[in-house]
Structure 1
Amino acid sequence: MTEDEGVDDDLLTIGAFAARARLSAKALRVYDRLGLLAPARVDPASGYRYYRVGQIERARTIALLRQLDMPLAVVAEVLAADGPEGAERLTAYWADTEARFAARRTLAEFLRGRLSGRSSEMYERFTVGTVEVPAQVVIAEKRHTLADELPAWIGASLGRLEAAARECGGVAGAPFVVYHAEVSTESDGPAESCVPVADETAARAWAQAQGRPWRTTVRVEPARRLAYTRITKAQVAHPQILAAFEAVEAWMKERGLSYDGPCREVYFADWDAAGPDDPVCDVAFPVR
């Protein structure tokens, strides 16, 4: 008997099953290895795989999920879920996929403007000015992070730091994030979340009490002159925020201003309460 022949009315060889399921035999072997779709029977002498007719629906479901570019690990989660839960996991996956494609669409539009020489038109939507910021004591947390992890880390780290600041005389200014090197899909910074505190002595004592595993430090942020533009909550998202940074840099270049430190985002509004069109953040560069 060859692997292409049937065994009985219910069992199909891997070749016959692959044809019915609209999959390749190679894919079926991969799915078996990953535990997604095991054969109903494996001949102990020949090693031939046999599948039941009733497994065709599962095989076709796997194939359709893969057409959504769903990773095999996520496919396994969807298949393992009971009833509506599987549909909910698919919905969550697709919402994330659509969000990523929307971001790429915006990035493509941004790049089209740059490549076509229309960058100056994009910058015109931003109003740039300068502000003097006095020296301030900050409690800070620094981390190497890629762009896709950055928003979650910013929210979590600022939350931790604001809670700590309340134990050190209170929050004394707008929280901000400093980019000591580029943060992108390929470069991991580092970035540094900072929250100004009212009581330096209390802050240093608090940080020391946390012990070595704690990543929080206390330092004095020197007085700075910032060139900045104010952006909305919707504009904070990547890649929209790139245009804001570049608009400030173009404005600095026109006026002969030099960089005097790493760029930053200053969050002055209640993020959770803000709507998409509400101003929430200043994109800024220290200048001299």
Structure 2
Amino acid sequence: MFTIGDFAHLGRVSVRMLRHYDAVGLLLPAHVDPASGYRFYTAAQLQRLNRVVALKDLGLTLDQVRVVLDEKLSAEQLHGMLSLRRAELRQQILADESRLRRVEARLRAIEREGAMPTDEIVVKPVPAVRIARLTATAASYQSEDIGPVIQPLYPELFERLGRAGVTPSGHGIATYESAEGDQVVVRAGVTVAVEPSAAYDFEVVDLPALAEAASIVHRGTMDGVDTSYQAVAAWIEAHGYKQNGFAREVYLNYGEGDPADWVTELQLEITKP
């Protein structure tokens, strides 16, 4: 048998926690010395300790942990519960990281307020381009609404292109349109060189040429794109232009390698009022 200190060390918990588990009847010592009151545990009790700690990490209260343990869950059942919780925690971490990137982007935008971009914006014509695309609807144009909608579209699009034997001939291009209320129609596309066909389970369309577009190159993930959008907005207003519709996002280098090196061109159609 092991002293409470040794058992705590082996189980990677505190002595205080073991005493609390004893007090609430969740993990009783195998033996208590009647003279000294010292608690002793067996190696077999580590199994119950592992389950207690794991269930606590799932977010259960100690009363709920006791109920679950009394039902004598199998190792397989407990593994399934922990795997689900692990997936939830990973998703939460990803969401928190995305939120942090958006906060950082807003901070950068605030820091740049009043600093007018001069050489970042290029005015140019954009030729018509043929793309294959899939469409979905986002709740709004906020990054946290757009990202979860557009991100699954591209793997699905490339899978469908592969099944159809169609090879992309250029960059990915995303376009957006207003929908009912705050909703936005999201279209994830990629340049192709094939004719439209009813046999495809995706659209093949021609994006029209833009006579004039204000273009800015954004570097990094799209979580930080707000700074680039606001820079081009300031330039458009300062130079007396009017923006027509949403920007096209041309993914020149996106999704591979260091995210800091990803490159997206934003193309906003502009006209003189």
TM more than 0.5: yes
Q: Given the alignment, which residue of 195, 199, 208 partners 1:209? A: 199
Aligned to 1:177, the other structure's residue is in SS state strand
Matched, 1:243 2:227: yes
Q: Which runs of 5+ in 2 are unaligned?
A: 1-20, 27-46, 61-72, 139-144
Per-residue displacement from partner, 1:238-260 (whole Å, max 9, x unpaired)?
A: 2x122222222122111122123
Counting aligned pairs with the same residue, the percent is 17
- In the other structure, the counterpart of 1:218 is 204
Q: Which runs of 5+ in 1 are unaligned?
A: 1-16, 23-53, 68-78
1:198 corresponds to which letter in structure 2? A
Q: Given the alignment, which residue of 93, 97, 103 partners 1:98? A: 93
In the TM superposition, 1:80-119 aligns within 5 A as: 82=76, 90-111=85-106, 118-119=111-112
Matched, 1:20 2:24: yes
In the TM superposition, 1:114-153 aligns within 5 A as: 118-120=111-113, 127-145=120-138, 146-153=145-152
1:260 corresponds to which letter in structure 2? N
Q: Given the alignment, which residue of 247, 260, 264 partners 1:263? A: 247
Q: Given the alignment, which residue of 251, 267, 273 partners 1:284? A: 267
Determine if contact 1:165/1:171 at 8 Å carries over to the other structure. Answer: no
Determine if contact 1:20/1:56 at 8 Å carries over to the other structure. Answer: no
1:218 corresponds to which letter in structure 2? V
**1:157 Cα deviation (Å)?**
4.2
Aligned to 1:107, the other structure's residue is in SS state helix
Residue-pair matches, total = 211
Aligned to 2:133, the other structure's residue is in SS state strand
Determine if contact 1:267/1:280 at 8 Å carries over to the other structure. Answer: yes
Is the alpha carbon distance of 1:89 and 1:81 closer, same or farther for their aligned partners in structure 2, counting shifts above 3 Å?
farther
Per-residue displacement from partner, 1:174-205 (whole Å, max 9, x unpaired)?
A: 220002138xxx95521112233324xxx22x
Q: Given the alignment, which residue of 197, 205, 218 partners 1:231? A: 218
Per-residue displacement from partner, 1:28-85 (whole Å, max 9, x unpaired)?
A: xxxxxxxxxxxxxxxxxxxxxxxxxx98975664344228xxxxxxxxxxx8874777
CA distance, structure 2, for counterparts of residue 113 and residue 58 of structure 1: 45
- In the other structure, the counterpart of 1:4 is none
Is the alpha carbon distance of 1:110 and 1:276 closer, same or farther for their aligned partners in structure 2, counting shifts above 3 Å?
closer
Q: Given the alignment, which residue of 178, 190, 193 partners 1:198? A: 193
CA distance, structure 2, for counterparts of residue 97 and residue 190 of structure 1: 26
- In the other structure, the counterpart of 1:42 is none
